[in-house]
Structure 1
Amino acid sequence: MSQYSHILLAADFNQESEDVSARAAALKDTFSATLSIIHVLEPISIAYGGEFPVDLGDLHKELEKQAESQLKELGAQLGVPPERQYLEVGITEKEILRVGKEKHVDLIVMGSHGRHGLALLLGSTANAVLHHAEIDVLAVRIKKSK
């Protein structure tokens, strides 16, 4: 196995994703690597409710505020300073890959739900990142809550 120097944890803040964060932290320690965290918010645009448009800008601002808070909390837990915590808005897999490339990451760690059937055909973020990344990707299986 090669030596990793910069690991990017793609965090989605689900309860089940603690295993993913723990795996990224363990790899950081194993390789004495730098750890960064990214969380991506999908954009919320204007929705149309009947005849009148509904502006969801306030909802997006609230979601962004919550995500920022969760990112800071996870960063504190993992010892990741604010300058390596990235909150991006866009298409999740594209933003993960973009930030990974810009920050010279050599390993992306993210969760995978292991979907089957129709959900697999429709694709997943982990699958998209895995197939388009030019670096290693570790997809950590997320176990379903009971």
Structure 2
Amino acid sequence: MSKYTKILVAIDLSEDSTVVMERARAIADIEGAELHLLHVIEPLSFAYGGDIPMDFSSIQEEIQQQATQQMEKLVERYSIDSGNQHILLGKPEVEIHAKAEELQSQLIVVGSHGRYGLALLMGSTANGVLHGASCDVLAVRVGK
């Protein structure tokens, strides 16, 4: 079995992100791997559709700034090279797959709330990442 040399950690910046980061940091330390941290911001137009004639640009900029500040704290706390932090705009599972391919990651680490039934049908980023990834995926159980 080959070692992981690049690990992509995809987080949502919630409180649960620290659990995901702790697991990824532990694996990276054991494997001697390089950690990359990714947060994907979904455009507000995705959430509200194109039917509402509103300008979301100032709100989107505020979301971007807050994400950048939170990512900087995590980068410092977990000793990740500042060049290895990525904030992208788009659909999370699509952007996670694309970044993993670009980086040639051998492992993607994501958080999973373990939803089932209707909650799962409504969408699970972890599930989407798992089923489209070309590398290993570790879904870290978070939440209750």
Shorter-normalised TM-score: what interval? Answer: over 0.9
CA contact (8 A) 2:4 2:33 kept: yes
Residues 63-82 of structure 1, C-alpha deviations (whole Å, 9 max, x = no match)? 00000111111111111122
Which structure 1 residue ranges, 4+ long, deviate > 6 Å from structure 2?
A: none
Q: TM-score w.r.t. structure 1 length? A: 0.91
CA contact (8 A) 1:25 1:78 kept: yes
In structure 2, the gaps of 5 or more residues are none
Q: Identity across aligned pairs (percent)?
A: 44
1:60-79 → structure 2 map (5 Å cutoff)? 60-79=60-79
Residues 123-142 of structure 1, C-alpha deviations (whole Å, 9 max, x = no match)? 31000110000100000000
Whose Rg is larger? 1
CA contact (8 A) 1:8 1:107 kept: yes
What is the DSSP-based 3-state SS (H/G/I as helix, E as strand, rest coil) of the residue aligned with 2:16?
helix
Residues in 1 aligned to 2:11 and 2:39: alpha-carbon distance in whole angstroms: 5
RMSD between aligned alpha carbons?
A: 1.3
Residues in 2 aligned to 1:44 and 1:143: alpha-carbon distance in whole angstroms: 25
**Could you say which residue in structure 1 is the equivalent of 2:83?**
83
Change (3 A) 1:55 1:75: same
CA contact (8 A) 1:47 1:55 kept: no
1:47 shift after superposition: 6.4
In structure 1, the gaps of 5 or more residues are none
